[in-house]
Amino acid sequence: MGAWIGLVGVVAGTLVAFIGQYIVRNSDSRERREAHLLEQLAILLALSEDYRNRVWEERNKVATGVVAAWDLSAYRHAEAQLRILSRDSNVLSALMSLKKTGAELGRSWRLAPEDESRTEAAWKAHRTAVDQFIAASSQVFGGKRSWLAGVRS
């Protein structure tokens, strides 16, 4: 009888160890996925802000050719990864809005820089899209809107 109790104890201990490993492995995997998602969100935000800064520099004649030198391939790479990683419809919608308004800002600035009203409208629409992207991204992680809200122009 004692051998059976020992055998049941060994089997139960092994089962607990396997369940523990499974839980830890899933937790680690989820943490890595969330970290990668956060990284892609941050990269897209940084690249979008860099793009706005470059347009501002050219509009204010601080620099020339910086919009053309912007790293579009890095933006596309981060966008593709985000589209694969994120299941949140608000983030994906905000991403599409950011892409659309960014393209319009580039089009208005590069093709018709003399049309100040079109460029200004595109500038404001892109700012709104960036803010919406920040809000949607922060909701994925249960956060509130960024401390930068209301500080931007």
Residue 99 is which amino acid?
K
End-to-end alpha carbon distance in the chain: 78
pLDDT along the chain (153 residues), means of 10: 72 72 69 89 96 94 93 95 92 96 94 90 97 92 53 43
Q: Which two tokens stand for residue 129?
A: 């899209």
CA distance 122 to 52: 11
DSSP of 22-45: HHHHHHHHHHHHHHHHHHHHHHHH
Q: How distant, in Å, are the alpha carbons of 52, 81, 88, 136, 153 from that of 71?
A: 13, 16, 26, 24, 23
CB atoms within 10 A of CB 63: 13
Q: Which H or E run includes 68?
A: none
